[in-house]
Amino acid sequence: MDTEGFGELLQQAEQLAAETEAVSELPHVERNLQEIQQLAHLLEYCIVAVRLTSMPCLLFQGFLKNERDNALLSAIEESRRRTFLLAEEYHRDSMLVQWEQVKQRVLHTLLGAGEDALDFSQEVEPSFVSEVGVPGRSALDSVEAAYSRQIYIFNEKIVNGHLQPNLGDLCASVAESLDDKNVSDMWLMVKQMTDVLLVPAKDTLKSRVSVDMQMAFVRQALQFLENSYKNYTMVTVFGNLHQAQLGGVPGTYQLVCSLLNIKLPTPLPGMQDGEVEGHPVWALIYFCLRCGDLSAAMQVVNRAQHQLGDFKIWFQEYMNSPDRRLSPATENKLRLHYRRVLRNSADPYKRAVYCLIGKCDIGDNHGEVADKTEDYLWLKLNQVCFDEDGSSSPQDRMTLAQLQKQLLEDYGESHFSASHQPFLYFQVLFLTAQFEAAIAFLFRVERLRSHAVHVALVLLWFH
């Protein structure tokens, strides 16, 4: 309502009030309309003030209610989280118990009933044993079962606090029951190559490729090949006693003489520097070295020293060297003599001995004397150099890495007829410290897979 309308209404109200003043029955009004209007404004103000005063109380009550609700929700969430964690922990513990029971059941099944059988008080649902065939019979073949028993014995001794057994010896004992010479030789080789002193190191790979470790592997490989050849010589001689004419003082020298009665009944054309007891000098020296007996070779050198020039001096130094290596000065003299006089010699054994002692002419494979893979490998391992001073010329220096590459990549499986002679190719790789490649190759042959797995386990335990 505008101001003019309200003023008119005010006049009408005053007129009405004047007309009613004469009426005495009506109660007397002490406030006029202006006062009533002011009172109305005051009342309106008071109402607003009361509302404003009560608002903080309402807000505080809402805040408290919200905090209470949040506290309840947090407590519920924390309780739910703890319940789930507790449930997961119980589930994990239960699974561990069940898994332990499963492992025991599997071992029990593999071992079969007997005095070593385990006592299982609870039935376990999972079963990893084939249900085909006789119940309780292992799904493993005889070779796998034999290995599994040795692994079980190994683990039992460790769990029971015994001294840690030699896993290599346990696995090698399996070969005795298989009556397989290839398997027996394989485990002899594995034991030989792992019989080195390992210095604890944070970086296993760095330790393994160190010069000292690589030299140790080469020494072990040479010793294996030499022992193997000496055993072969003994079998050959004692298998042909009439032709071998074995006699004299027992030892490698006499054994080699008897071998040459079988292998070289008459001197071959081109043999140089005479004979000792009817045998070519350099052939005798070579086969004594092939058997790993430097003393026997020295015995031949002493008997023929007037025919050998400076070789006796060089061989004495080689024999007394802890790492089978001549000094750089002596080595250079021998190599120079070889290049000038002997490179085209008609005596293959003389060339082979010089190349072996002087680690020279690495491109010559000496096929006339090294007609088997083991002989070739033995010659090449003897020529491996570890010196880092560059004293050897490139054509006279072969590192272990170069030999490994040559055997694995340049020659490869086809050269060694690996599909027909898997143990031979495994030997070539293993004796040149190419352990991973050797195991990977053997694992690809299904019938030899269990051997590969357990060789890997032995190497893991060895490291």
**What pLDDT, in 10s, does the model give residues 51-67?**
656 666 666 677 777 77
Closest by alpha carbon to 460, among 439, 444, 431, 445?
439
Portion of the chain with pLDDT greater than 90, in percent: 36
Distance in angstroms (rounded) separating the CA atoms of residues 2 and 261: 147
Name residues whose C-beta falls within 8 Å of residue 324's C-beta, 6 or more positions apart in sequence: 318, 382
Angstrom distances, CA of residue 398 to CA of 60, 180, 336, 393: 90, 35, 18, 10
Strand partners, 384: 398
Residue type, 127: S
Q: Which residues of 413-432 are buried (b: 16+ CB within 10 A; e: fewer)?
A: eeebebeeebbebbbbbbbb
Structure tokens at 221: 């490989």
Q: Tell me: the pLDDT tens digits for 403-453? A: 999 998 889 898 898 989 999 999 999 999 999 999 999 999 999 999 999
Predicted confidence (pLDDT) at residue 202 exceeds the cutoff of 70 = no
- Half-sphere exposure in the Cβ direction for 426 (13 Å, CA): 25
Distance in angstroms (rounded) separating the CA atoms of residues 334 and 357: 9
pLDDT of the residue at 115: 40
Pick the range with the lowest mean pLDDT from 65-79, 227-241, 259-273, 367-381: 259-273
**Phi-psi map region of 300: left, alpha, beta (phi>0 left; psi -120 to 50 alpha):** alpha
Q: Tell me: the pLDDT tens digits for 340-371? A: 988 888 899 999 999 999 998 888 889 899 98
Predicted confidence (pLDDT) at residue 242 exceeds the cutoff of 60 = yes
Sign (positive/negative) of CA torsion 343, 344, 346, 348?
A: positive
Angstrom distances, CA of residue 146 to CA of 332, 345, 416: 54, 54, 30
Do residues 111 and 142 touch, judged by C-beta distance below 8 A?
no
In eight-state DSSP terms, residue 446 is G
Predicted confidence (pLDDT) at residue 137 exceeds the cutoff of 90 = no
Name residues whose C-beta falls within 8 Å of residue 457's C-beta, 6 or more positions apart in sequence: 151, 167, 171
Query: Torsion over CA of 298, 302, 303 and 306, rounded to 10 degrees?
Result: 130
Between residues 141 and 434, the one the model is more confident about: 434
Between residues 139 and 182, the one the model is more confident about: 182
Structure tokens at 224: 């294996």
Residue type, 207: S
Cα separation of the two ends of the chain: 104
Q: Tell me: the pLDDT tens digits for 330-344? A: 999 999 999 998 888
Predicted confidence (pLDDT) at residue 125 exceeds the cutoff of 60 = no
Do residues 233 and 216 touch, judged by C-beta distance below 8 A?
no
Opening angle at CA 32, ends 29 and 36, nearest 5:
100
**Phi-psi map region of 433: left, alpha, beta (phi>0 left; psi -120 to 50 alpha):** left
Predicted confidence (pLDDT) at residue 462 exceeds the cutoff of 90 = no
| Residue 161 CB burial class (10 angstroms; 0-12, 13-18, ≥19) | exposed
Closest by alpha carbon to 427, among 447, 441, 409?
441
Distance in angstroms (rounded) separating the CA atoms of residues 343 and 354: 10
Do residues 169 and 191 touch, judged by C-beta distance below 8 A?
yes
Distance in angstroms (rounded) separating the CA atoms of residues 196 and 241: 38
Structure tokens at 459: 């190497």
Size (the chain), residues = 463
Do residues 126 and 117 touch, judged by C-beta distance below 8 A?
no
Query: Torsion over CA of 158, 119, 106 and 166, rounded to 10 degrees?
Result: 20
3-state helix/strand/coil string of 298-328: HHHHHHCHHHCCCHHHHHHHHHHCCCCCCCH
State mean pLDDT over 264-291.
82
Predicted confidence (pLDDT) at residue 25 exceeds the cutoff of 70 = no
